Amino acid sequence: MSYLILIRHGLSEYNKKGIWTGWEDPELAPEGVTEAIQAAETIRDLPIDLGFTSTLTRHKTTLALVKQTLGNTSPVTEDNALTERNYGTYTGKNKWEVKKEIGDIEFQKLRRGWDYPIPEGESLKQVYERVVRYYQEVILPEIQQGKNVIISSSGNALRSLVKYLEKISDEDISALEIATGEVYVYQLNENGEIISKEIRNQHPN
């Protein structure tokens, strides 16, 4: 049995402003630093052998704060397979202004839809393909060897992995929201199948 811990990065400066961040690289806001430290306190009872994240600052800083808070010195691997969704032409735009422009229905498809195309960007389906491939090829073998793993990333990358782990349908994935600083804790068997699940550090989005 192994633990798989998923943590969404703490609130960033772009999150505070309602800006679609995508592959942009803002720092954590002060509130995001607090969220990361609070998240760490909720998993103090869990052993961590390996960390995985992307090269984006908000992901790396969140994981570094968690490890620092816990006094954990386990190795960390960075890979852009775990980066946030590329929002293409919507990157840097205020999401609530976009909602006014395109209407509620199209906005929900854009923000949460499974295979909604974005000019010069990615659909959630495309994010799923790269995240799950990396998980299967790199992370799962470590879990199958009994390692306890933590992944720090963004909402869409983690939603993709949760979809895979929990076998969520293409239709139902639109309802899944992971708040900044929120932690999903899975116990997995030697085949990578879920034994149990907890959500820690929950708070309103």
Q: Print pLDDT tens along the chain (205 aa).
A: 999 999 999 999 999 999 999 999 999 999 999 999 999 999 999 999 999 999 999 999 999 999 999 999 999 999 999 999 999 999 999 999 999 999 999 999 999 899 998 999 999 999 999 999 999 999 999 999 999 999 999 999 999 999 999 999 999 999 999 999 999 999 999 999 999 999 999 976 5
Cα distance between residue 100 and residue 85, in whole Å: 22
Give the pLDDT score at 204: 67
Q: What residues are annotated to the active site?
A: 9, 84
Residue whose tokens read 């989005």: 205
Q: Cβ contacts of residue 98 below 8 Å, gap of 6+?
A: 20, 90, 107, 110
State how beta strands 2-8 and 183-188 pair: antiparallel
Reading phi first (left if > 0) and then psi (alpha if -120 to 50, else beta), residue 97 is in alpha
Q: What are the distances in angstroms from CA 38 to CA 33, 41, 62, 105, 160? A: 9, 5, 11, 35, 24
Q: Against a cut of 0.85, is the pTM above it?
A: yes
Q: What are the distances in angstroms from CA 183 to CA 54, 99, 116, 191? A: 17, 28, 27, 22
